[in-house]
């Protein structure tokens, strides 16, 4: 009986600790999402989202428009668009993002593209290589608010100081249900990250 008592107590304590940890991560995600840290940096990094036959999805467009505004305000001399093909045989998210920014008026010479990554971790890893090659140690990370806490965590693990800047017109952040759903998803992915699983 005594052994069973201690087993049950240990399980309850472990469960409570896990819940507190997850709540803490969720709060950190939402806190980061509400805070725009944009400031002068070496590059603006736009994280890809879906593209439809060569055109950015509404979510991706919101990110690109925000990156355009930051570039117009001269926050950084370089813009990096990211994202692979996602199975599209003709277009990549990174390429579509670059084309869109050029159409908006950003000089092509100011844009670099990463077109092979399928995950956030792969995008960050590829961007880090680009930054290091140019001696850059800081960047502004542009994405939906819920995504930025994880992005900053990953950049930090590579020794890059990333400033989070959420896309203000994000359709996801504007929808309370979608915002909470994606934030919970991030919470679980970040937990896996702390366990050594990179996704």
pLDDT score, position 62? 97
pLDDT score, position 162? 98
Domain contains 100: yes
Stretches where the chain sits below pLDDT 70 are 1, 3-20, 199
What secondary structure does DSSP assign to 66-126, as a single string? Answer: HHHHHHHTTS-S-EEE----TT-SS--HHHHHHHHHHHHT--GGGEEE-----SHHHHHHH
Give the domain CATH number at 41.
3.40.50.620
Domain contains 141: yes
pLDDT score, position 80? 98
pLDDT score, position 5? 56
Domain contains 199: no
* Tally of domains in the chain: 1
Domain contains 88: yes
pLDDT score, position 19? 67
Domain contains 133: yes
For residue range 9-43, list pLDDT tens digits in order. Answer: 566 665 655 666 777 888 999 999 999 999 999 99
Q: Under a CB-based contact definition with an 8 Å cutoff, are residues 64 and 56 in contact?
A: yes
Domain contains 124: yes
Range of the structural domain that residue 68 is part of: 2-194
pLDDT score, position 9? 57
User: What percent of the chain clears pLDDT 90, i.e. is strictly above it?
Assistant: 79
Domain contains 74: yes
Domain contains 61: yes
pLDDT score, position 3? 66
Spatial separation of the C-alpha atoms in residues 172 and 32, rounded to whole Å: 15
């Amino acid at each position: 009986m005594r052994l069973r008592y201690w087993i049950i107590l240990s399980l309850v304590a472990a469960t409570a600790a896990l819940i507190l940890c997850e709540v803490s991560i969720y709060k950190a995600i939402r806190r980061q999402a509400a805070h725009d840290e944009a400031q002068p940096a070496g590059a603006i990094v736009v994280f890809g989202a879906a593209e439809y036959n060569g055109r950015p999805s509404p979510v991706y467009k919101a990110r690109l428009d925000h990156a355009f505004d930051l570039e117009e305000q001269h926050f950084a001399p370089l813009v990096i668009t990211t994202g692979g093909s996602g199975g599209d045989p003709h277009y990549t998210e990174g390429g579509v993002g670059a084309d869109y920014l050029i159409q908006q008026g950003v000089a092509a010479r100011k844009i670099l593209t990463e077109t092979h990554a399928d995950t956030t971790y792969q995008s960050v890893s590829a961007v880090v290589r680009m930054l290091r090659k140019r001696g850059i140690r800081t960047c502004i990370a542009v994405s939906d608010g819920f995504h930025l806490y994880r992005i900053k965590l990953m950049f930090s693990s590579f020794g890059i100081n990333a400033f989070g800047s959420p896309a203000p017109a994000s359709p996801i952040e504007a929808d309370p249900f979608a915002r909470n759903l994606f934030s919970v998803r991030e919470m679980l992915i970040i937990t896996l990250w702390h366990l050594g699983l990179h996704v």
